[in-house]
Amino acid sequence: LAMARVFRMLIGGRLVPGEGTFAVVNPSTGQPFAEAPSCSRAQLDEAVHEARAAFPRWAALPLKERQAMVMAGAKRIEENLDMLVETLVKEQGKPVANAKGEFMGIIGTMKFMASRPFEYEKVLADNDRERILQRRVPLGIVGGITPWNFPPLMAAWKMCEALTTGNVCILKPSPYTPLSTLLMGEVLAETFPAGVLGVVSGGDDVGKWLVEHEDVNKISFTGSTRAGKLIQATAGPSLKRLTLELGGNDAAIVLPDADAKAAATGIFNQAMGNSGQICIAVKRCFVHESKFDEVVGHLAELASKARLGDGFQKGVQYGPINNKMQFERIKELVEDAKNSGAKVVAGGAPLEGSGYFYTPTILTNVAEGTRIVDEEQFGPVLPVMPYANVAEAVQRANATRFGLGASVWGTDVARATEVAGMVEAGTVWVNKHGDLSPDIPFGGSKESGIGRQMGDYTLESHTEAKVIRIAKPKSKL
């Protein structure tokens, strides 16, 4: 059903239409259901101008005052939860319970960031010659560019990191899923002073304008490695600060002593969650040959019981692929694997009917050199491969240009932890996979990103270190 609501951008504290609109598609039907405002270059310039004007006063506020407003924002989201959840389900496709969970994660993040301490000044040295201070100084305007898999959550992460550290923020969501972020901006419009938070929407050109704008000091981007490389190149001439959380090809290694059923259950849930559309989803699974058949059997059983459907339907576990382009890519990767000799032990085809639904798929008889193994699929497809010894498993897990996350599964926790230390990734889990929290840094190595989000890196990545060296009077004695 079409949404009657008119969505507006937040610029300078005002809710404004775009100079045009573009259609937003419900992936459960494949049909447009709403119009989003399209930001013009002049409107983007205005958003930056308003943010720049708001920055000095916002940065000068005591931390506790900024945090109080973030806390008030969390309350506003709680008060408007049903409306926000409904919008997210319609534009992204995820089930209602998952959409509500995403917003509960936003509320939790905002409350955490509204209460955590930051050490803005410390004494580096104090002797008879001088006193040396280091202060953390906000950067200015942070542009947050977010993806279509967790649109409001990623926006909230970027907003909270920027605002609590004294920066101002302009959010630009994916054109596939702009509505929940626009609506979040509307809900928060009166929470912060005008210009402190901006939300604009449109195509990739709007993101490019934000990245290349000379008055924007930092870009925080979550999305594909390809797009991250373009952002790095575009930001280069102005030497913008960057945080890039990019693609992954996360490996799960099932050790010889692992509990096959427990490992298969954990891996399946983290491979298929959000219909596989998670940067840190399990995307390759290496199982010791002694446990291979048992693990594959459990994975296939779980896939066969999965319930797909419209996110509003009761009992649905998995929604659609978010957009037609990604849906076609998943179909292409599976067909390529089949043509290369892959065995489909579960799924392997789109769901009949309307929308972008693809059945949870387990593939065997695949190996490196096949696209489904080498590339990031970003969908509900898991290639499962046997290995003979742990050294081989680690070598194969590391043989990728990605390095976002990974997991190791085994009953000997000390051994599993030892193996985890050998895997090249920003985060490696042991006997679990994929959980994140705002108090722990998150980011990738290799081509999976630059920098870290959250944890102790929030202050470091959103401020500059300013050193003040104060000479002491020389003694007259």
Residues belonging to the active site:
245, 279
**Interstrand relation of 141-145 and 14-16 (parallel, antiparallel or unpaired):** unpaired
Cβ-based neighbours of 166, under 8 Å, separated by 6 or more:
58, 59, 61, 63, 66, 138, 463
By DSSP bridging, strand 14-16 and strand 9-11 are: antiparallel
The C-alpha atoms of residue 56 and residue 87 are separated, in whole angstroms, by 34
DSSP annotation of 388? S
Distance CA(52)–CA(2), nearest Å, equals 37
Give residue 365's region: left, alpha or beta (phi > 0; psi -120 to 50): left
Q: Give the bridge partners for 245, in sequence order.
A: 222, 449
Could you say which DSSP state residue 447 is in? G
Q: What's the token pair of residue 446?
A: 């290799």
207's tokens: 């993101």
Q: With the CA atoms of 173, 31, 85 and 50 taken in that order, what torsion angle do they form, in degrees rounded to the nearest 10? A: 30
CA dihedral 150, 184, 322, 7 (to 10 degrees): -160
∠110-115-120 over CA atoms, to 5°? 110
Q: Which of 165, 173, 368, 380 is nearest to 267 (CA)?
A: 380
User: How many helices (H) does the chain have, and how many strands (E)?
Assistant: 15, 20
H helices within 142-291, ranges in order? 151-164, 179-187, 204-212, 225-235, 260-272
Strands (E), 333-426: 343-346, 361-364, 381-387, 405-409
C-alpha 236, offset from chain centre: 23
Q: How far apart are CA 387 and CA 394, in angstroms?
A: 10
The conformational region for residue 412 under phi > 0 = left, psi -120 to 50 = alpha, else beta, is beta
With helix as H, strand as E and coil as C, how does 104-151 read?
HHHHHHHHHHCCCCCCCEEEEEECCCEEEEEEEEECCEEEEECCCCCH
